[in-house]
Amino acid sequence: MRRAQAQAEAVYESFPATFADETHPSEGLRLVDHASFAEAPADSWRYRFVKRAMDVLGALVMTILMAIPGIFIAAAILLTTRGPLFYHEQRIGRDGRLFRIWKFRSMYSNAVQRARIGDTEPTARVLEWRMRKHRRDPRITPVGGFLRRWSLDELPQLFNVLCGEMSLIGPRPIVKTEAKFYGDLLPFYLAVTPGLSGLWQVSGRSRVGYEKRARLDALYVRSRSLRTDLNILLRTIPAVLSRVGAR
């Protein structure tokens, strides 16, 4: 955990000066306050070995099962809107390492203009769109809306799992510009491999406030175990099918 705290300090120091001066992304969204969490225990070799084996096996099985649906998803995206098939973005991984996350594109190519945010808007305004899930987001395509409701836009992240950049279960990977708002909870995100699903996803997703989401992720990191991972994995299926909080 100390290593994660050192990585968190390095992330903070790398923020541009213009961003460092901003303390709130919007009036209604506060910084995550200090949390009195005990330090997260280090992973045992057995836990890491078995978890990695579960990740590889699970990702391979899901990739095979979703291969044909993936072809139809790709065709729907390319035939209905202009733009690339995939969307990619840098995220923060374990120990603060940056990696590229992949998704099926669910937004219009001119998404920023549709949301009326641009380079002239303050960083806080841009972050608000990232940290809040709007019910009627003008950036999302009709096909993209369907993909998001069923979490199908995240299927390409199975390749991130196979590459070891992500796990099937863990905190959602965050972007560097959001890290400032996690405060003392950031080291918990840097202490583990980010996940495709996690405690936040099976607890209501977008219906859960931003601060509670961060605390749920930190709670997972503090109490993670193979039993916890299996429990979340089994709860992910009904959570996706119910579409509760999916936007």
Strands 167-169 and 98-104 come out as unpaired
For helices 210-223 and 226-242, what crossing angle results, to 10°?
150
Question: According to the model, what pLDDT value does residue 129 have?
Answer: 52
Residue ranges per structural domain of the chain = 2-13+44-242
The whole-number pLDDT of residue 1 equals: 61
pLDDT tens readout for residues 33-92: 444 555 667 788 899 999 999 999 999 999 999 999 999 999 999 999 999 999 999 999
pLDDT in tens, 127-176: 555 555 556 778 899 999 999 989 999 999 999 999 999 999 999 999 88
Closest to 102 (Cα-Cα) out of 166, 188, 176, 52: 166
2, 188 Cβ separation under 8 angstroms: no
95 torsion bin: left (phi>0), alpha (psi -120 to 50), beta (else):
left
- Model's pTM, two decimal places? 0.80
Neighbour-count burial of 199, counting CB atoms closer than 10 A to its CB (0-12 exposed, 13-18 middle, 19+ buried): buried
Q: Write the DSSP string, 30-82.
A: PPPPP--PPPPPPPPHHHHHHHHHHHHHHHHHHHHHTHHHHHHHHHHHHHHSS
